[in-house]
Amino acid sequence: MCACKKNRNVIFRMNILQKILKNSRTEEDGIFFKKIYQITGFKPKKLEIYERAFTHSSVHKIDENGRVISYERLEFLGDAMLGSVIAAYLFREIPNQDEGYLTKMRSKIVSRDNLNNLGKQLGLIELVTSKVSQKHFGENIYGNLFEALVGAIYLDRGYLTCEKFISKKLITPYVDIEKLEGKIISYKSLMIEWCQKHKKQFAIRVEEEKSAEAQKHFSAQLLIDGKIVSKARATSKKRAEETASKRAYFAFQKEIQLKT
């Protein structure tokens, strides 16, 4: 058999194999593939990585090694990738500030509120496979999914593509250095610092509410010099504390700004 005929046979077999693989993708996979493409701007090479990024542990899906499949491991990886890309960006863009300033700015950019808002805007919750109703997810699910998606992109496409995605979705549209300098990332820390500086007693009382609701709720009371100055209710202890602290800050805002 001549070389030309052999080559034609090889190409023919490859085309047949590609068609088989293409047809083996379910309609559901095709819809998921299209949504990932719309969000990221590129076609995923390994769709199963992205499927893992949107699988909730409640599904009890197991991989070939007997480990539970969920987005949480990719969330961990994505968190590290975000920190790395943002740190490199700040290092390049702000050459005259020390590491303390750069660390604070990075924390503001990758704050939970920012990532939650971005996850909402991208509609990531709609891609989740879960046995838990969406209404029972906490607010942080949006940011967690965004981090998991970043982790999936890194595994599928590598650092450069991951960096471009973060730049396109987070840095370019939302990072304004001047505005971020004045942004408060923790009202609780701010209130504690202000109270310590002016010799005021600061305390937060948090209790888990007894309720028939499926999701837990926590109530918080913030006290200054023994007096309750704000209250809050949330689905996590940390969020209840932060909301109560934010309300206290706005109640004392004029005094804080005058005395800080």
pLDDT tens sequence across 158-175: 999 999 999 999 999 989
My answer on whether 110 and 218 are in the same domain is: no
- In Å, how far are 59, 61, 69, 113, 209 from 64, measured between CA atoms? 16, 10, 10, 36, 41
Give the separation between CA 7 and CA 4, rounded to whole angstroms. Answer: 5
Question: Residue 191: what residue type?
Answer: M
Give the mean pLDDT of the chain. 86
My answer on whether 66 and 155 are in the same domain is: yes
Active site residue 163: no
Q: In the numeric block, which tokens belong to residue 201?
A: 């007693």
Domain that holds residue 127: 44-181
% residues pLDDT > 90 (the chain): 55
pLDDT band at residue 5 under the 50/70/90 scheme: low
Q: What is the pLDDT of residues 19-40, one digit of tens each?
A: 434 444 567 778 999 999 999 9
Catalytic residue chosen out of the listed positions 79, 156, 241, 242: 79
Per-residue confidence (pLDDT) for residue 214, from 0 to 100: 66
- The DSSP letter of residue 209 is P
In a domain, 5, yes or no: no
Q: What is the pLDDT of residues 176-232, one digit of tens each?
A: 888 887 777 788 988 998 999 999 999 999 999 887 666 788 999 999 999 999 999
- pLDDT of residue 152 exceeding 80: yes
Give the separation between CA 54 and CA 129, rounded to whole angstroms. Answer: 6
CA angle 44, 46, 49 (to 5 degrees): 100
Task: For 217, list phi and psi in degrees, rounded to 5.
Answer: -130, 150
CATH no. for residue 237? Answer: 3.30.160.20
Among 181, 205, 231, give the residue marking a domain's end.
181
pLDDT band at residue 8 under the 50/70/90 scheme: low
Encode burial over 137-173: b for 16+ CB neighbours within 10 A, e otherwise.
beebbbbbbbbbbbbbbbbbbeeeebbbbbeebbbee
Active site residue 139: no
- How far is it between the farthest Cα atoms of the chain? 94
Per-residue confidence (pLDDT) for residue 19, from 0 to 100: 45
My answer on whether 85 and 112 are in the same domain is: yes
Beta strands in the chain (DSSP E): 202-208, 218-224, 227-234
pLDDT band at residue 60 under the 50/70/90 scheme: confident
- The DSSP letter of residue 46 is -
- pLDDT of residue 2 exceeding 90: no
Q: In the numeric block, which tokens belong to residue 216?
A: 């837990």
Task: List 230's β-bridge partners, or say none.
Answer: 222
- pLDDT of residue 149 exceeding 90: yes
My answer on whether 172 and 203 are in the same domain is: no
Catalytic residue chosen out of the listed positions 147, 163, 241, 242: 147
Q: What is the mean pLDDT of residues 120-130?
A: 93
Contact assessment for residue 171 and residue 89, using Cβ atoms and an 8 Å cutoff: yes
My answer on whether 156 and 130 are in the same domain is: yes
Domains contained in the chain, number? 2
The 3-class secondary structure across 32-63, one letter per residue, is HHHHHHHHHCCCCCCHHHHHHHCECHHHCCEC
Q: In the numeric block, which tokens belong to residue 212?
A: 């028939």
Per-residue confidence (pLDDT) for residue 17, from 0 to 100: 42
Name the one residue in this structure whose structure tokens are 């493409």: 37
